[in-house]
């Protein structure tokens, strides 16, 4: 099965094609350009380099959130459009789960995406000795303070990954044993998203284009009230 996955959910835009556990190709950009201008030409170029026609793709994957409001809509629209036009199945995975796929050796992982105003989107995963990824907590938005409380309670060293890594690492490094992946694995990559999607597809979690929806996350209550309080 050939699977094309794209990710535009945060700072980076990327696309990748995987087939039966092998990465065939990946394009990635971390520049301040509108994802909507970048992603489809990127897909077109990648397929051309791989000498693949879009008709040869069996399944379309995308990160469905949490993440940037505009970014999620761009990624989902692109994948829904491709899958709908070609009558192929799609599969969506959590942005945070896709980030956890940047690692892959036995460890604890806390993916962190900057949700602004001292908040992060986060979850907790464990890569097991047998090579499987186990989810330990659901995707949620936490204040940095609550993230610290959570990570402290683990009493174990933990890998941070995602565009909120620097923010969290600087805040936590003296109090919690945080580890960082290699710089090449710090941000979300479509290759990781593609492998997460491939696994989900093999578990039968594919849907038709119309059923794919973004997973926006509610932000902490206190923060929402704080904004409103300033209204004159």
Partner 1 sequence: MLSVITHTPEETEAFAAQAAKQLSPGDLIACRGGMGAGKTAFARGLAKGLGLKDRVSSPTFSLVHEYTQGPLPLYHFDMYRIDGFEELYSTGFFDYLEQDGVLLVEWSENIADALPENAIILEILSIDETTREIHLEGGPF
Q: Considering the complex, what minimum distance in angstroms separates the CB of residue 216 from partner 1?
A: 8
> From the centroid of its chain, how far is CA 79?
15
Q: Which of 55, 153, 182, 230 binds partner 1 (CB under 8 A)?
A: 230
The single residue among 51, 53, 131, 228 that binds partner 1, judged by CB under 8 A, is 228
Q: Is 11 in the site for partner 1 (CB under 8 A)?
A: yes
One DSSP character per residue, 23-89 reads: EEEEEEE-SSS-HHHHHHHHHHHHHHHTT--GGG--EEEEE--SS-HHHHHHHHHHHHHHHHHHT--
In whole angstroms, give the CA distance from residue 56 to residue 77: 20
In the complex, least distance from residue 71 CB atom to partner 1, rounded to whole angstroms: 7
Residue 71 lies near partner 1 (rule: CB under 8 A): yes
Binding part of the chain for partner 1, among 22-30, 67-75, 177-185, 196-204 by CB under 8 A, reads 67-75
| C-beta of residue 103 within 8 angstroms of C-beta of residue 125 | no
- Between 9 and 206, whose beta carbon lies closer to partner 1? 9
219 binds partner 1 (CB under 8 A): yes
Could you tell me how many residues of this chain bind partner 1 (CB under 8 A)? 21
Contacts (CB under 8 A) with partner 1, residues 135-194:
none
Among 44, 49, 69, 210, indicate the residue that binds partner 1 (CB under 8 A). Answer: 69
Residue 109, strand partner residues: 125, 159
Contact yes or no for 43/31 (Cβ under 8 A): no
Q: Residue with structure tokens 């849907």?
A: 207
In whole angstroms, give the CA distance from residue 81 to residue 203.
Answer: 23
Q: By the criterion CB under 8 A, which residues form the site for partner 1?
A: 11, 32, 34, 68-71, 116-117, 216, 218-219, 223-228, 230-232
């Amino acid at each position: 099965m050939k699977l094309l996955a794209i990710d535009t959910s945060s700072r980076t835009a990327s696309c990748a094609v995987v087939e039966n556990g092998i990465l065939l190709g990946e394009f990635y950009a971390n520049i301040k350009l509108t994802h909507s201008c970048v992603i489809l030409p990127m897909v077109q170029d990648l397929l051309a380099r791989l000498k693949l026609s879009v008709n040869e793709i069996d399944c379309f994957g995308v990160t469905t959130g949490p993440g940037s409001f505009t970014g999620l809509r761009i990624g989902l629209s692109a994948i829904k459009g491709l899958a709908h036009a070609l009558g192929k199945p799609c599969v969506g995975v959590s942005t945070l789960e896709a980030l956890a796929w940047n690692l892959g050796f036995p460890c604890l992982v806390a993916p962190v995406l900057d949700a602004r105003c001292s908040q992060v989107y986060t979850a907790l995963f464990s890569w097991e000795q047998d090579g499987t990824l186990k989810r330990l907590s659901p995707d949620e938005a936490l204040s940095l303070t609550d993230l610290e409380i959570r990570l402290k309670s683990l009493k174990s060293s933990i890998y941070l990954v995602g565009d909120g890594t620097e923010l969290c690492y600087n805040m936590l490094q003296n109090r919690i044993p945080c580890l960082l992946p290699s710089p090449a694995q710090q941000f979300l990559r479509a290759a990781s998203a593609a492998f997460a999607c491939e696994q989900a597809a093999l578990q039968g979690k594919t849907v038709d284009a119309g059923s794919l929806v973004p997973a926006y996350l509610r932000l902490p209550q206190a923060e929402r009230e704080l904004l409103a309080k300033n209204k004159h």
